[in-house]
Amino acid sequence: MLTFKANRGNLLQHCVLCNIIDLLKESYYKRDSFFYVDATAMAPFSVPEQGNQPTCSHFEAVRNRLGVGESSYERPWFSLTEPKSDAYPSSAVFIKRLWIKTLKMLLCERDPNVPLQ
């Protein structure tokens, strides 16, 4: 399984993303579809990378409280993973859970350790 930073940036990015999706659902949900473009997409599920301790503790604290909060961020995270799981959903997975109408995505990422095919 691939890794991610497990830091405040991941928390902030996905918290804001989930709130934006909720706002879009209120305003634009009558549209047929939503098109999401992510230029730095990550794997659908990843685990925290080792050695990122200065901020990883904040990420773990939020993960350990899952199910207590009812935010647009915590609900999908909790429903997509098992409680206390190390697996963390990507932006695309969060959006897929929150946007239940037609969804189109363009996900791009280039890992220099993976050869192009």
Q: How confident is the model at residue 105 (pLDDT cuts 50, 70, 90)?
A: very high
The answer to whether residue 88 is domain-embedded is yes
Q: Is residue 117 part of a domain?
A: no
In 3-state terms the chain splits into helix, strand, coil percentages (rounded to 5) of 40, 15, 40
For the beta carbon of residue 37, count every other beta carbon within 10 angstroms. Answer: 10
**29-33 long-range contacts, CB within 8 A, separation 24+:** 29/101, 31/101, 32/101, 32/102, 33/101, 33/102, 33/103, 33/104
Q: Residue 69 is part of which domain span? A: 3-29+37-107
116 located within any domain: no
Q: Is residue 95 in a domain?
A: yes
Overall average pLDDT of the 65-80 stretch: 79
- List alpha helices for 1-117, DSSP H: 8-28, 53-64, 74-80, 91-98
Residue 100 lies in a domain: yes
Percentage of residues in the chain having pLDDT higher than 90: 20
pTM of the entire structure? 0.80
Adjacency order of strands within the sheet including 3-4: 3-4, 45-48, 88-89
98 domain-assigned: yes
Whether residue 69 has pLDDT greater than 80 = no
Residue 112 lies in a domain: no
Residue 45 lies in a domain: yes
More confident residue, 35 or 85: 35
State the total domains in the chain.
Answer: 1
